[in-house]
Amino acid sequence: MTDIQQRGYAHPDVLVSTEWVAQHLKDPNVRIIESNEDPLLYPSGHIPGAVEVDWTTDLNDQVVRDYLGREGFEALASRIGITRDTTVVFYGDKSNWWATYAFWVFQLFGHTNAKILDGGRKKWVDEGRELVREVPYYPATHYQAPERDDHTLRAFRDEVLEHIKRDGQLVDVRSPMEYTGEKLHMEGYPQEGALRGGHIPGAQSIPWSRAVKEDGTFKTADELRAIYLQEKGLDPQQETIAYCRIGERSSHTWFVLTYLLGFAKVRNYDGSWTEWGNSVGVPIVKGDKPK
């Protein structure tokens, strides 16, 4: 039994180790995908054979604030040379923020044969494993995707409004100072993007980073249950909506709750605070310290 399998996750097969990736670098049925916040990381060195999927240019529509549509996803998947049978393994910086974001977008188009490299880019580098600058070439495929599923895994503003009217479970995964409204972004980032600071009424403050250890790997299922269930009182059987500022940190928590803890239904509100904090006619709470 591997270390990942010993941690008690609901779906341990969705995580792979650095050793697993090293053993599958030349596997034609596996495609390694790097997704980062920092666009300079991939060209400076990446896992051999890994392709880059950029969250801004590859996953998002360039005109409408939305994700790429079916045709755009088909073009992306075809360009990186995958089929619907290809196992895609995501990794990246920030303890896999953007890797889980890309993973989530791929789920919107039904590519469920997907995994996350536990520990992400940091663990690979910390172990002294090989990085290369060569951009790999894969023959283009003819990928066919279903229409984007905007109902199962994604929440929209009006749905969040209805959710809070029902006292539904809502998780704010931002930093404590963003939750209180003292800041509009994390420390070290420009304080911009929303007219108002605070949080959505009824939201629990559970910063995304509490789910990972210093080396970027995920905490065990028992450690995660101690946070989300015992400390914060979340019910795995109730519908849960997670949000942050633009949807990337909340995709990380969505991944944790869905795959590692086996919550029944979790949706990511990707509009998050840049939408909610700028919207007319929606309620906020300001100054309420996280409990």
* Contact criterion met (CB below 8 Å) for 175 and 270: no
Domain hosting residue 259, numbered range: 157-276
Q: Round to whole Å and give the CA distance between 134 and 156.
A: 40
- 165 and 97 co-located in one domain: no
| Strand boundaries in the chain, DSSP class E | 15-16, 30-34, 51-52, 87-91, 114-117, 169-172, 204-205, 240-243, 266-269
The Cβ-side half-sphere exposure at 43, using a 13 Å CA radius, reads: 4
- 15 and 117 co-located in one domain: yes
pLDDT tens for the chain, 291 residues: list them: 789 999 999 999 999 999 999 999 999 999 999 999 999 999 999 999 999 999 999 999 888 888 999 999 999 999 999 999 999 999 999 999 999 999 999 999 999 999 999 999 999 999 999 999 999 999 999 999 999 999 999 999 999 999 999 999 999 999 999 999 888 777 777 777 788 999 999 999 999 999 999 999 999 999 999 999 999 999 999 999 999 999 999 999 999 999 999 999 999 999 999 999 999 999 999 987 776
CA 13 from chain centre, in angstroms, equals 17
- 116 and 26 co-located in one domain: yes
- 257 and 174 co-located in one domain: yes
Of the three residues 82, 109, 126, the one that is the final residue of a domain is: 126
Torsion angles phi and psi, residue 136, rounded to 5: -70, 155
- 112 and 187 co-located in one domain: no
Of 4, 15, 244, 260, the catalytic one is 244
Residue 25 included in any domain: yes
- 12 and 72 co-located in one domain: yes
The CATH number that applies at residue 39 is 3.40.250.10
The label of the residue with tokens 């939201």 reads 203
Residue 111 included in any domain: yes
Largest CA distance in the chain: 54
- Structurally, how many domains does the chain consist of? 2
Distances (CA, A) of 107 to 21, 88, 150, 152, 262: 21, 11, 10, 10, 16
pTM of the model: 0.96
Residue 144 included in any domain: no
- 121 and 215 co-located in one domain: no
Residue 244 included in any domain: yes
Residue 207 annotated in active site? no
Residue 134 included in any domain: no
Q: Round to whole Å and give the CA distance between 264 and 284.
A: 27
Residue 103 included in any domain: yes
